[in-house]
Structure 1
Amino acid sequence: MAPFLPITELYSSPSQQIYSFRGADWALLSNFLPDNLSIRTIRENYRSTPEIVSSSIHLAGPDASEMFSTRDSLGIPVKIYKSNRDSVHLTVQTIASIIKEWEQRGIGPDKIAVLTRSSNNAQIKRGLTHYDVPLAEGSFFASEVVQGALSHLRLALYPTDPKALDMAMGFPGPALGMLTRSLLDKERISWDELAKLISNDEFAAAEQAKALRMYQRHVYYQNCLRKFRDGNSLPWIIKDLLVPLRDTLMKEGVFAAANEIEQLAALSGEFDSLSRFMDYLRTEIEGVKYTEDGVTITTIHKSKGAEYQGVIIPGWIAGNIPVESDDPQTEQNLAFVGMTRAKDRLALTVPGSPPSPYLRGMRETSVIQV
C-alpha cells in the first residue's frame, strides 16, 4: 500500500454506515497514512431537492450536517401521512394512493420505490397488487417457498389427493428419479406406488428412502393438524407444517426460506381456516403481477447506492423506525439513507403511535391525516 499512498484518495460517509462495523479503528488506520494528509468535506448533494435535504439533515452525522442541495426547489415538501391506528390495510391503501397521485403527475411506477425497514414486506406487496400496482421485482408469491408451501399444505390437508402428493414430491422434493417413475409405470404417484417402491428391492435404496421420507412427513403433518384442532393458532401451525419444506430449501441453498416462511405464517393470521388460507395462496400465485416497469419494493438496506424519483417509506413509529437496538447510531444512519434515496418526492407514513422520535426536527414537511 505504501507506494500508492501519495496518489490515494479515501472517501468516507459515516452518516451512511448502515451495518454495524466491528473492529474498525481510525487511529490504527491513520498510522498508515502520510502526515501531510489533507481532509476535505463534500457538502454538495446533487440528488435530492432542498426540501428533502432539509428534512433529513437532522439525522446526519458531523460529516453531512452542513450538506446542501445544489438543485432548484420544486416547491414540494416532504409529506407525512399520519393515521390513528397501526393497520396494514390502511398503510397499503395510503401507499397505493400516493403512487397513483405521483403517476398522474408524470412519475412512472419504475421511478418509484417503497423502502421498508424490515424484509417482512410481503403484506405490502400483496396489498399493492390488489390495487393494480405493478411490481418491479418478482412478487413474493412467485417465490419457490410460496409455491412449494401451497403444494405441501395441500398434501397435509388432503393426503389422499394424488395430485397433492405428486406436486409435493416434484417441487421442491424429495423428487423421484425418471427411471423410478418409469418402473412404477404411473402417470401420477400415489401412496400405493410409494409403498410398492419401499417393499420392492428392484428400486434403488436412495429412491426407497425418498418414499419413506414422504410417509414420515405424512405422519408429521397429521400431528401438526391435530395440534391445530386442539386450539393452537393458524400461524403457529403453518410455521410448524412448513418446517420440512424450509429445511429442504435451506439444504438446496435457498437461504431466504426461513424468512419467507415466517412471512407466510404472519399472513395466515388473517384467516380462520387452513383451506381458506390455501385458496388465498393459490389465487395470489396464479395472479402474480410482474413488470420491469413496476414499483420497486425493497428494504432500506438494499436501496443504499440507488436513487428514485419518488420514495415512500412506511412505518415511522417507535419500535420500527428505529427498532430497539444496541447500536442507535446505525438505526439513525439507516433512516438518513432511506430519506436521501429520493430525488423529487418523499412520503413517510406514521401508522399509529407513538410516532418515531426521528420525526422531531424535520423541516420542510406537510402532515396529512389519513
Structure 2
Amino acid sequence: NLFMVGDEDQSIYGFRAAWPEALLSFREYYPRGRVLYLERNYRSSRAIVGVSARIIGQNQKRYPKAMRAVRSDSGTARILRFRSRLGQYRQITEMLRGGGPKTAVLYRNNDSAVPVVFALEEAGIPYSVRGLDTMFFHDKIVQDALAILRFAMDPRDFDALDRIYYKFGARIPKQALLEAEREVAGGRAGSVLEELSGSKRMARSQKEKIIDLETEFRIIRSGDSSMDAFRRISETMNYQYGKSEKIFLLRALTEKGESLAAFLEKIEELEQRILHHRNEADSRVVLSTIHSAKGLEYERVILIDAVEDILPAKDGDPEEERRIFYVGVTRARDELDLAAYDDFRQPFLEELRTDHSADFPRRSGAGIPDVPSAKG
C-alpha cells in the first residue's frame, strides 16, 4: 500500500530539484490509485483564503482544487499602497510600533531585509530575523558603490579608483590609469581623471566621458550628501550596475542630510549589527524569506517587494514564481497586507487587481490619500 500527502501548489524548491509533476503524474504510474483533494483551510480567514485561491488559480499545472476556509470570520486582505518603493520602510515601521498581533514581514530575497532591519533598529523595535547573513555587504556591486563614495571623498584613493574605473563606459586603459596615478602621486598632476582627460592615450570620445565622470565626482564631493550621491549613481553616472537591486537597497539606506562619511560608517555599523544580532524569542516582529517561512504561520503578514524581476524573478519559472507568492500569502491567519508601489511593475498584484471576483480593499501608504474599496 502506498499513501502520499503533498501539495503541488506549494512546490517552491525547484532550485533543489523539487518536481511537482511527480504528484500530477501519479495516475500515469498508478492507474488504480485514488486522488483525494484536501480542500479545507483551517489556518486562514475567509478573505485570505479567497485571495490565495485567486492567485494560485492562475496556474495551469495543478489539480483543480477549490479551497474553502473553515473559519467563519472574514479577516482582512488588503493592498497597502505606497507612492514609491523607497517610501515603504518608514510606514511599515510605524505599523509595527506598539502593540498588535505577531507580524511577519515576508520577502523573496534576503537582501530585502537589510533596509527593514535598519528601520527597525533605528526605531528600537525588537525583531527576529530568519536566515539573514552579511553577504549583501560583500557583494561586488555594493563594494563598487562604496568605492565610488570613497573616491568622491578622496580623489587620491587609488585603491577605490582601481576597482571602478572601467565600469562607467569610458574605456580607460589600465596602463593610462597607472601613468595618471603616478603623476598625481608625484605631485605633477592634481587629479587622476583630469590627467586622463588630457592624455594623448585617450580618444576624443573617451576624454568627453572622462570629463563628464570627473564632473559627477566633483558634484558628489561638493554636495557631501549620501542621498544625492546614490541618486547620481543610479541615474546619471553611467555606472554599469546603476539600475541594479543592490544600488536600490543602498539608496534606501540613505537619509536626508547625511554625509558620505556618515553613510560609510553607518554601513559598517549595520553589518556588525546584523552579524551579532540575537533573535528575541517573544518578539512580535519576524523578518523572513518566503522560503524560510514555509510551514509556519503568523497572525499578520506584510508581504513586500513583490516586484518584477524579484518576485517574479526575471528568469524563474512563471508558475513556480506564482507558487512562491501563494505560499507567502497563505502564511497569514488573520491579516494580510500586500505592499504595492506606484513606481514598479508588480505582475502578481496586477493579476489580483484585474480579477473582479471579489472586493479587494486598498489601504494608503504614508502621505497617500485613501483609495476607496473597489473591484479589482
TM-score range, shorter chain: 0.5 to 0.7
Aligned residue type for 1:133: I
Q: How big is the shift at 1:119?
A: 2.6
Structure 1 segment 71-110 matched on structure 2, within 5 A: 71-73=71-73, 75-83=74-82, 85-88=83-86, 90-100=87-97, 104-105=99-100, 107=101
Q: Which of the residues 340, 352, 357 maps onto 2:350?
A: 357
Structure 1 segment 16-55 matched on structure 2, within 5 A: 16-20=10-14, 26=22, 30=27, 32-33=29-30, 35-55=31-51
| CA RMSD, Structure 1 to Structure 2 (Å) | 4.2
CA distance in 2 between partners of 1:72 and 1:43 (Å)? 16
Task: Identify if the C-alpha distance between structure 1 residues 341 and 364 changes in structure 2 by more than 3 Å, giving closer, same or farther.
Answer: farther
Structure 1 segment 249-328 matched on structure 2, within 5 A: 263=246, 266-267=249-250, 270=254, 275-284=261-270, 290-292=278-280, 293-294=282-283, 295-325=285-315, 327-328=317-318
Q: Indicate conservation of the 8 Å contact 1:13/1:63, yes or no.
A: no
Q: Indicate conservation of the 8 Å contact 1:60/1:333, yes or no.
A: yes
CA distance in 2 between partners of 1:281 and 1:324 (Å)? 28
2:162 corresponds to: 223
Task: Identify if the C-alpha distance between structure 1 residues 139 and 278 changes in structure 2 by more than 3 Å, giving closer, same or farther.
Answer: farther
Task: Identify if the C-alpha distance between structure 1 residues 290 and 364 changes in structure 2 by more than 3 Å, giving closer, same or farther.
Answer: farther
1:253-303 CA distance string (max 9 Å, x none): xxxxxxxxx848941684887533322124435666643233221222222
Q: Is 1:116 aligned to residue 114 of structure 2?
A: no
1:36-69 CA distance string (max 9 Å, x none): 3111100011111111101211122453641111
Aligned residue type for 2:120: L
Task: Give the TM-score of the pair, scaled to structure 2.
Answer: 0.58
Task: Give the TM-score of the pair, scaled to structure 1.
Answer: 0.59
Q: Which of the residues 302, 317, 320 maps onto 1:330?
A: 320
Q: Indicate conservation of the 8 Å contact 2:76/2:334, yes or no.
A: no
Greater relative contact order (Cα < 8 A, sep 6+): 1
1:279-336 CA distance string (max 9 Å, x none): 2124435666643233221222222111111110023455554344452211221211
Gaps of 5+ in 2: 152-156, 165-191, 194-212, 221-228, 234-244, 366-376
CA distance in 1 between partners of 2:131 and 2:20 (Å)? 38
Task: Identify if the C-alpha distance between structure 1 residues 64 and 118 changes in structure 2 by more than 3 Å, giving closer, same or farther.
Answer: farther
Structure 1 segment 169-180 matched on structure 2, within 5 A: none
1:341 corresponds to: 331
1:369 corresponds to: 364
Gaps of 5+ in 1: 1-5, 159-217, 239-261
Structure 1 segment 241-256 matched on structure 2, within 5 A: none
* Corresponding residue SS for 2:124: coil
* Corresponding residue SS for 2:363: strand
Task: Identify if the C-alpha distance between structure 1 residues 359 and 130 changes in structure 2 by more than 3 Å, giving closer, same or farther.
Answer: farther
Q: Indicate conservation of the 8 Å contact 2:300/2:332, yes or no.
A: yes
CA distance in 2 between partners of 1:146 and 1:326 (Å)? 25
CA distance in 2 between partners of 1:24 and 1:51 (Å)? 27
Q: Indicate conservation of the 8 Å contact 1:147/1:285, yes or no.
A: no
Aligned residues: 269
2:237 corresponds to: none
Q: Indicate conservation of the 8 Å contact 1:304/1:337, yes or no.
A: yes
1:69 corresponds to: 69
Q: Percent identity?
A: 21
Aligned residue type for 1:54: G
